[in-house]
Structure 1
Amino acid sequence: MPSLRSILFRHLVRLGSLSNRADVSIAQLRASMEKGNWFLSLSVPCGTVTEPVSAGGVPAEWVLPPGKRRRGTVLFVHGGAFVMGSPRSHRGLVARIAAAAQLEALAIDYRLAPEHPFPAALEDTLTAYRWLLREHCQASEAVLIGDSAGGNLVLAALLALRAAGEALPAAAVCLSPATALDGKGESLRTHAERDPVLRVETVGPLVAAYVGDHDPTEPLLSPLYADLHGLPPLFLQVGSDEILLSDVIAFAERARQAGVTVELEIWEGMWHVWQIGAPWMPEATHAIQHIGAFIQRQLATQARAA
């Protein structure tokens, strides 16, 4: 049963989120997200250090949690319907995940649509990952994480790396990922009034700006329709009340059928990327703790196999 705090937070999100309104411009959405007005926590845990860096030419930010860190690195790809968001807008979420995993994190500032449609954001994600392996860690010590559109980019990056015969990361984590961009998921309709963050009529045009002239069912745009064999272990979190629920469940099932190790968590009463509610919502804090535990398990498995 959802906590009282989450019930209150849900109402605040519905009132304050611009991404569920059709009367706002991309410029307004971007400004709102950068200010933290979309209930994104810009604050970070005490002792967190952030440092700007160029990841092979892609602007990025190191997020270093306090305390002793384990061996390994998180590459974080932010959400924002491919048209908004940045390391700054997601700094609080990245910092809390990094702290839970006891790892340093690299958050990238990929190019946004509509100025830079597909495949620009994917190319930047791949460039940053390759830089990370070249300059900082081995693939077995890297974990890719993304929320929403960032989850889509993480999955697409895995497919592109596999196709190119390049080293895959130890694991990947996707929070409310957009696994299909064709707008056919059942919960897009059935959950239209339940998700306080996303509405199809608002997000659809934003996603279309990223897709451009491409077929939205192309595997690198809609990983749900891809051949998923050979991917690393995946950890997926999705809320029971969000419009992307059915696509995430379908993706998890197809990945398992392809032999991929998948852990899928469906959080009752939660909505799109509720993890941003940490530290105020217990469900958000607990979800991040689960992410950290998964990452630690996967890196420990890789270390034993080395």
Structure 2
Amino acid sequence: MTANVVEQTAAPAGTQNQDVLRELYADWARIMETTPGLTMRLFRSIFDEWHQPTVEPEGVTYREDTVGGVPGIWCLPQGADSTKVLLYTHGGGFAVGSASSHRKLAAHVAKALGSVSFVLDYRRAPEFTHPAQVDDGVAAFDALVASGIAPENITTIGDSAGGNLAIAIALAVKEQGKEAPGQVIAFSPWLDMENKGETLVTNNDTDALITPELLEGMIAGVLGGTIDPRTPLANPLYADFSGFPRLYITAGSVESLLDNATRLEDRVRTAGVDVTLSIGEGQQHVYPFLAGRSALVAQEFEKLAAWYTK
């Protein structure tokens, strides 16, 4: 049985606070445009500010750990069911972002879903090219299963490039003949390694961060100039989704990667997957980063929790 639910979520008047995220993105864009020779270390330092729009969630503790040889941060909401784990892969074009930049967002989601979350510090490009990031996710998934967590109680989840990984990890597990995660969640997934989505053009003036040029550099970093951009575990728009777990996708209506989400929804629906797509009206890339300050995001997490528990 499949579900094709495409929902347009309107921001309540006066409560969206989206300027905080948009202004952070615009500031990053200005820095990248005006800083020739920006080193990878400084590039990563800039994107480690990604947590700033997110309010620190109450009643959550954090613990650094290594799972399956991959370092990361546990997000442990008070009273959460520790037998249900969100395996979170952060965004950042496979090159930037970290468990630290995403721990607050992952904690908000875990708290909303009544579960715990482990945010991976997977190996990043360009030092490590595809499929190192997918391999790290599969290693962590396997370790969780070996520790006694049932596969159906594991959710692979991520944003942007991490949304790609959340999908690719589930695909890789399925390809290896193992039981797949129970469900997959992708916030503003970046999937198109060919860099030819139409909303890269139509939303170019409304997206405060994403440009085709920025994506080209990140594609070169993760594929290393040797990997076909149509490789399914690198570009899930080319994957076989038969037997894929149920999937929840979000995207902002003004972001340049919007059609990555809509094309994904169409592809998995055609394959018979139970899929829900929720589009935040007027929202930027990975708008759930506004957790704790946005009524729209609170509403989105309520919908996500209802989906998760059904």
Q: Do Structure 1 and Structure 2 share a fold, with TM-score over 0.5?
A: yes
2:115 and 2:176 mapped to 1: Cα distance? 28
In the other structure, the counterpart of 1:196 is: 208
Q: Is the 8 A contact 1:52 1:60 kept in 2?
A: yes
Higher strand share: 2
**1:256-303 alpha-carbon deviations (Å, 9 max, x no partner):** 111111001111111110110111122222223322332222xxxxxx
2:274 is equivalent to residue 294 of structure 1: no
In the other structure, the counterpart of 1:282 is: 295
TM-score normalised by the chain length of structure 2:
0.89
Q: In structure 2, do the counterparts of structure 1 residues 152 and 68 end up closer, same or farther at CA, with 3 Å as the change threshold? A: closer
Higher relative contact order (CA 8 A, sep 6+): 2
In the other structure, the counterpart of 2:104 is: 92
**1:7-28 alpha-carbon deviations (Å, 9 max, x no partner):** 5335523433349844444322
RMSD value, Cα: 1.9
Q: In structure 2, do the counterparts of structure 1 residues 156 and 91 end up closer, same or farther at CA, with 3 Å as the change threshold? A: same
In the other structure, the counterpart of 1:230 is: 243
Displacement of 1:71: 4.1
Which residue identity does 1:134 align to in structure 2?
Answer: A
In the other structure, the counterpart of 2:5 is: none
Q: Is the 8 A contact 1:17 1:38 kept in 2?
A: no
Q: In structure 2, do the counterparts of structure 1 residues 28 and 284 end up closer, same or farther at CA, with 3 Å as the change threshold? A: farther
Q: Is the 8 A contact 1:40 1:89 kept in 2?
A: no
Unpaired segments ≥5 residues, structure 2: 1-9
In the other structure, the counterpart of 1:31 is: 45
In the other structure, the counterpart of 1:301 is: none
**1:149-204 alpha-carbon deviations (Å, 9 max, x no partner):** 00111111121111111110110000000122110111111111111121221232
2:191 and 2:104 mapped to 1: Cα distance? 24
TM-score normalised by the chain length of structure 1:
0.90
2:284 is equivalent to residue 271 of structure 1: yes
Q: Is the 8 A contact 2:56 2:292 kept in 1?
A: no
2:253 and 2:148 mapped to 1: Cα distance? 37
**1:65-117 alpha-carbon deviations (Å, 9 max, x no partner):** 02353741111111111001111110110110010001011111100001111
Higher mean C-alpha displacement, 22-31 vs 60-69: 22-31
What is the SS of the residue equivalent to 1:169?
A: coil
Which residue identity does 1:123 align to in structure 2?
Answer: D
Q: In structure 2, do the counterparts of structure 1 residues 68 and 112 end up closer, same or farther at CA, with 3 Å as the change threshold? A: closer
Higher mean C-alpha displacement, 8-17 vs 96-105: 8-17
In the other structure, the counterpart of 1:66 is: 78
Q: Is the 8 A contact 2:151 2:181 kept in 1?
A: yes
1:221 and 1:162 mapped to 2: Cα distance? 15
2:267 is equivalent to residue 219 of structure 1: no
Q: 1:20-169, aligned counterparts within 5 Å?
A: 21-22=32-33, 23=35, 24-34=38-48, 36=49, 39-41=52-54, 44-69=56-81, 71-169=83-181
Which residue identity does 1:264 align to in structure 2?
Answer: L
1:235 and 1:226 mapped to 2: Cα distance? 17
Residues matched between the structures, number: 295
Q: Is the 8 A contact 2:188 2:252 kept in 1?
A: yes
Unpaired segments ≥5 residues, structure 1: 298-306
Fraction of identical pairs, as percent: 31
What is the SS of the residue equivalent to 1:236?
A: strand
Q: Is the 8 A contact 1:19 1:202 kept in 2?
A: no
Q: Is the 8 A contact 1:39 1:277 kept in 2?
A: no
In the other structure, the counterpart of 1:303 is: none
What is the SS of the residue equivalent to 1:88?
A: helix
Q: In structure 2, do the counterparts of structure 1 residues 119 and 6 end up closer, same or farther at CA, with 3 Å as the change threshold? A: same
2:16 is equivalent to residue 13 of structure 1: no
Q: In structure 2, do the counterparts of structure 1 residues 14 and 45 end up closer, same or farther at CA, with 3 Å as the change threshold? A: closer
In the other structure, the counterpart of 2:187 is: 175
Q: In structure 2, do the counterparts of structure 1 residues 27 and 70 end up closer, same or farther at CA, with 3 Å as the change threshold? A: closer
What is the SS of the residue equivalent to 1:17?
A: helix
Q: Is the 8 A contact 1:19 1:199 kept in 2?
A: no
1:37 and 1:239 mapped to 2: Cα distance? 17
Q: In structure 2, do the counterparts of structure 1 residues 171 and 15 end up closer, same or farther at CA, with 3 Å as the change threshold? A: same
**1:121-140 alpha-carbon deviations (Å, 9 max, x no partner):** 11101100100111140101
2:211 and 2:308 mapped to 1: Cα distance? 31
Q: Is the 8 A contact 1:20 1:199 kept in 2?
A: no
Which residue identity does 1:83 align to in structure 2?
Answer: A
